Each structure stands twice: as structure tokens, then as C-alpha cells.
Amino acid sequence: MSKNIVVLVSGGGTNLQALIDAEKNGELGNGKITCVISSKADAFALTRAADNGIKTRVLVRKDFSDIAAYSKAMRDALVEEKADLVVYAGFMTILDENVCDVFENKMINVHPALIPSFCGKGFYGLHVHESALEKGVKVSGATVHFVTAECDAGPIILQKAVAVEEGDTPETLQKRIMEQAEWKILPKAVQLFCDDKIKVVNGKTLISE
């Protein structure tokens, strides 16, 4: 039986596209993207999903009174979709334990920096790269990790370093990190998960290949 992958998005969806392309190339192992859920009704990621015949749903944060109510609605949607794996691909809302406890070690996120640098609340999208450039780091990158109720703190699955270049802007650094790291390690982590190659022991992952 293949594993149902539900992808959560909020924006452009280039990481979703990398997953769709990987599935087409037979690189998601035993996984199949069965649904895309967006926190924004106008996210371009929804168009990417529809163009590829993938079911879409929209759950807008502002339609719910607080994060607990939103998280419960998301949990119900994920259960309804029979999600075996939930992938945050540019999903910009922090869900609470109403979801994280039910899908423990079954939700993964891609973060555009080398955790524990430039992560946690407020570090998302271009802000991450602005902070990295402000600090003057010479190397940044991306991290794929399991999601827990604490933002960007779950067990790390894969990381890839990317050089910062002189004259970089947040936009050029973001683009390089996406191309060289995110679009590679996110599909790879999904494949490892779907092929049952990731174990979590004492808050760390063990990967067998």
C-alpha cells in the first residue's frame, strides 16, 4: 500500500513543485501526493496542485477564532484525508499540539536555514535570509525536520549547506538555497520516510539507506 502524502502550503509552492516532479520521476519511494491544503485561498501552490490533478482544500487561519480551533480543523482534515505523512512546504502557520501530538513523527517541515541558526518564531520566508545576511554568515542552507509543537525544534532529518556570496540580497540567497538545498533535500526526506528509513531515537533521527 502506498503512503498518502498531504502537503500544506501558503504561497508560491516551489517546494510542492519539487515534490510533484519527484513523484513523476519515481523519486518519492512508496509515497503519493493525495491532497494539498492551503492556508491562503489565492496561493499559487493551489494552481500547481490542480494542474497536476491533485485534490486541493483551503483552510484559512482567519476563519477560526484561535490557533487551537484552527489546529483542530486541520487535524480533522488530515484524518479525513487519511494522511500517512504531512509535509509543510512553505506553510506559514504554527500548528499546536492538537495536530502535532496526533501526527507525531509524521509531519515534516523544510526550513530555509541550518537549524538551530535563524529559526523559531518570526523566522520565515525572506526574513530568514535577511537575518543571515545581517549577521554576515558565510554559509547558510536548509533543514528538513520533524514538526513538534515547538517551532523548528523537532528532530532533524536532513541538512544541506549553501555558500553565501558577496553581494547577495535576501532574494538571491533565497533562490540559491531553494535550488541547491530545499528542492533536493525535501523530496529526499519524503522518500526516506515513505520507504520507512527514518527512526527517531531520543529526539534524534537515525537514517538507514
Give the catalytic positions in this structure: 111
Instruction: Give the residue at shortest CB distance from ligand GAR.
Output: 90
Q: What are the residues facing 146 on neighbouring strands? A: 108
How far apart are CB 18 and ligand GAR at their closest, in Å?
8
209 vs 192, 195, 197, 198, CA distance in Å? 8, 9, 7, 9
How far apart are CB 153 and ligand GAR at their closest, in Å?
12
Stretch that binds ligand GAR, among 64-72, 100-108, 110-118, 133-141 (CB under 6 A): 110-118
How far apart are CB 42 and ligand GAR at their closest, in Å?
13
Stretch that binds ligand GAR, among 65-73, 109-117, 154-162, 192-200 (CB under 6 A): 109-117
Stretch that binds ligand GAR, among 25-33, 98-106, 121-129, 190-198 (CB under 6 A): 121-129
Helical H segments across the chain, by residue range: 14-24, 44-51, 67-80, 97-100, 126-135, 170-177, 183-194
Contact 189, 154 (CB under 8 A): no
Which of 112, 141, 154, 187 is in the footprint of ligand GAR by CB under 6 A?
112
Contact 105, 200 (CB under 8 A): yes
34 binds ligand GAR (CB under 6 A): no
Which of 3, 6, 7, 13 is in the footprint of ligand GAR by CB under 6 A?
13
109 vs 50, 104, 166, CA distance in Å? 22, 13, 29
Residue 3 CA, distance from chain mean position: 17
Contact 167, 138 (CB under 8 A): no
How far apart are CB 118 and ligand GAR at their closest, in Å?
10
Which of 37, 49, 86, 89 is in the footprint of ligand GAR by CB under 6 A?
89
Cell of 80: 479525513
Which residues of this chain interact with ligand GAR, rule CB under 6 A? 11-15, 45, 89-90, 110-112, 124-125, 128, 178, 182
